[in-house]
Every structure is written in C-alpha cells, then in structure tokens.
Homo-oligomer: A and B are copies of this chain.
Amino acid sequence: MTERSSFPERASIRTDLAVEARQFLTQQGHPVPGVTIEEEESQYAKVSWVKITSPAGAQAMGKPPGNYITIESRYLRQANRVVQEEIGQILARELEKLANLAPEATVLVVGLGNWHATPDALGPRVIDELMVTRHIAQYTPEELSEGLRTVCALAPGVLGITGIETGEIVKGIVQNVRPDLIIAIDSLAARSVDRVCTTIQLADNGINPGSGVGNKRLGITKETMGVPVIAIGVPTVVHASNIAYDVIETLLGQMKGELDLGIMGRLGEADKRQLIRAVLGSEMGDLHVTPKEIDTLILNLSRVLAGALNVALHPAVKPEDMYRYLH
C-alpha cells in the first residue's frame, strides 16, 4: 500500500480515491474548477469518470491531472460470481479504452504491496493469478501467438522487506524489458468505510508519492519510467480518524436548525481534528482499519482484477472466459 494522497491544508481528510475527494469537496461547499464528472449505472455497478484538467482542479482535489475511472458496487463484498463477472467485464472494457494498445505492445504489470499483510496483498495476488506470455512469445512463431499480447509481471515486495524503493526496482525492469505500458495494481486507503472493497479505481497518471516523508520516494509515472502508467487501485483500509470525522459531520448536520449552536458554529476543521485526536488517542490516530473478512475479500478481488486484465490485454481471451485462465 502506497501512502500517496497528501491533501492540501484545508482538506484534512485522507483518501486515495478521486471520486471521494470530489464528493468531500462538494459537501464542504468548495467550488471544484477544472474537474468534470460523468456517471453511468448498470444493474450491479456505477461507473464514474472524473477528469482533472487544470492545476487549480489538481490543487483542490489533492491529485495530479488525469483521468480517474471509478467502478463501484456494494455487491462486490458478497461472494456473488454473477456480480464479479459483470464488474470484471466493465473493468476490462474501461482498461482497454484507457490503455489503447497496439497489437504487438508489451505490457508490464506490477503488483505493489506486501504478500504477508492481508489488506496490502492485493497487488501480489493479482500477479500470482495473472496469465503471463512474454517468456512464451519470445520463442513463438507469430502465427501461433495471435490474439495474445506480450505480458510480463512482477510483485517487487515492500521497502521493509527489500530495502529498495519499489520505483527503483520497477525502473530497472523497464530498462531491460522496455514495455510500452506499465499497469500498477495497489491497495488504497479510502475515506469512508462504505468504499472498502467495493470500489475499483483506474487512473492514467500512475502512482504518485505524496509530498511529505514520501517526497523522497520515486513515483511510478510516465515522468519517472518513460512509458505510460495506468494505476488500478482498490481501497482495502480506512483511517480510523475518518470514521470519527464522519460521525461528527453527521451529528452537526443533524443538530443544525434545532438550536443556536454556540460553540458548534465555531467548530472549524482544526477543532474537529483535535476532537478526533482526543477520541482516538495519539497511538490510534494513525490506525488503519480493515474489515475482519479481509482474507476472503482480497481473494475474490484478486480474481476479478486478474480476470479483467486477461480479457483487456489479450484479444483472444473473450469476456465470458474471464475466469478461465486464472492460475
């Protein structure tokens, strides 16, 4: 899990999801210039396209300019194969449009995160399930590999285990493998518990490390890698402080109009944050939480993502065969 969202000052609540950032800003009454949004609903899912087109929009959203596609379905938390296939096929379709690959393109899929921490294991698990073809393609006559693109994959592990920045590892691979596109899979932090394991975000501007401690880190972006980078993220954790924040917001909303708020009128962002610290304590203030069913959720999601990648990357894999070539 890469901690990469660093909100500008006035938006103190952390999220990796563009759709949440926009929602939050709108609720706060902030105008959001240079940000457009479109939405579409199907039986089990809602798809949103957020486009950040100006520096002002990027500043307001706390995210770099680019296209952010969000697929949401609260049914993803159930073990429902029909839903999983619908979501997987939407993901495949959107990824294919965003990637816009030439038939002979080479793709490197990078699974970020830590095998040994369940909520952070989504990336490595997708790599394990994914169909790779590069080692076969290199030695195969062209006519035999029709309909299969050249795909390779890596789960580099996390800094605490390797001692090497993930960006450094990926850069080395890119120099040797020379892919036309990098797809990076990552676990994200959401602002709201509703989002956890119910939302998949695609973005065409890569993985951008934050500006704090993270600013020494090498992002995985077109700038650093020299090739386009699509990031696919799923929120698997939420800051405990966000739960607290939402409670306060709702409480205040509920009380408005009922009484002359006195102190309440003066309760600004800073007060709310102090309140949260008081409730959660200093140690717990940075606690990320995850649902207790996380093992099953990660297992099912990794199959949806790997299946969608197989469909999106290989013309020969039909949407209805999305689960057929998983490992």
Interface residues of A (CB under 8 A from B): 1, 74, 77, 81, 115-120, 127-128, 132-136, 139, 150-157, 159-165, 168-169, 171-177, 193-194, 216, 236-238, 240, 243-244, 246-248, 250-251, 254-255, 258-264, 275-276, 278-281, 283-284, 287-296, 324, 327
Contacts and interface: CB of A to CB of B under 8 A. Distances in A.
A169 B154 contact: yes
A132 B163 contact: yes
A134 B161 CA distance: 10
Tell me the number of copies of this protein.
4
A120 B291 CA distance: 12
A118 B118 contact: yes
* Residue among A177, A251, A255 with most chain B CB within 10 A: A251
A309 to B, nearest CB: 13
Contacts of A172: 169, 171-177
Given A154-B169, A175-B172, A243-B244, A163 B133 contact: yes
Contacts of A236: 292
Contact of A259 (B132, B176, B261, B278): B261
A291 B290 CA distance: 6
A255 B259 contact: no
Contacts of A160: 132, 135
